[in-house]
Amino acid sequence: MERATFGAGCFWGVEAAFRRIEGVVSTAVGFMGGTVANPTYRQVCTDRTGHAEVVQLEYDPARIRYEDLLEVFWQIHDPTQVNRQGPDVGTQYRSVIFFHTPEQEAAARASKERVEKSGLYRRPLATQIVPAAEFWRAEEYHQQYLEKRGLAPCAIP
């Protein structure tokens, strides 16, 4: 199994979207990229810890490629928005790819370049591509939040 970590706004919908993908073995929502050890959701929501809300997933590379996960990432949010997604505003909602290996970094940069050149967006992409840091798992009630409440995940075009 390999690991991938993405921030694309509120982690509830992002997790639900990735959980539907064949080859994704497990998901967990949490926080990455900040300065506070073991932050709580309440702390991260102050926009003072520097963390992004993220989904960390384990996937089987024999069943799905990292590049395919990147395609899902680009489809499930607006990567041109700076520190927000829809009504959610703050650095914790930034668009970010946390890479775990040099191969992931290269794939993420190539993917971002393809999306930028595609003409799909009029504005420049705000997505950061940075090394993975410590993953802090969010409180249990956030895990599979939408599924627990019987809500539909966001659609993947």
DSSP string, 8-59: ESSHHHHHHHHHTSTTEEEEEEEEES-SSSS--HHHHTTT-S--EEEEEEEE
Residue at 141: amino acid letter: Y
The Cα 84–Cα 91 span in angstroms is 7
Q: What three-state secondary structure class fits 89?
A: strand
Cα of 131 vs its chain's centroid, Å: 13
From first to last of its 157 residues, the chain has per-residue pLDDT tens of: 999 999 999 999 999 999 999 999 999 999 999 999 999 999 999 999 999 999 999 999 999 999 999 999 999 999 999 999 989 999 999 999 999 999 999 999 999 999 999 999 999 999 999 999 999 999 988 898 787 777 755 544 4
Position 152 scores a pLDDT of 59
Position 155 scores a pLDDT of 45
**What would the CATH number be for the domain defined by 2-148?**
3.30.1060.10
pTM (predicted TM-score): 0.93
Annotated active-site positions, please? 10
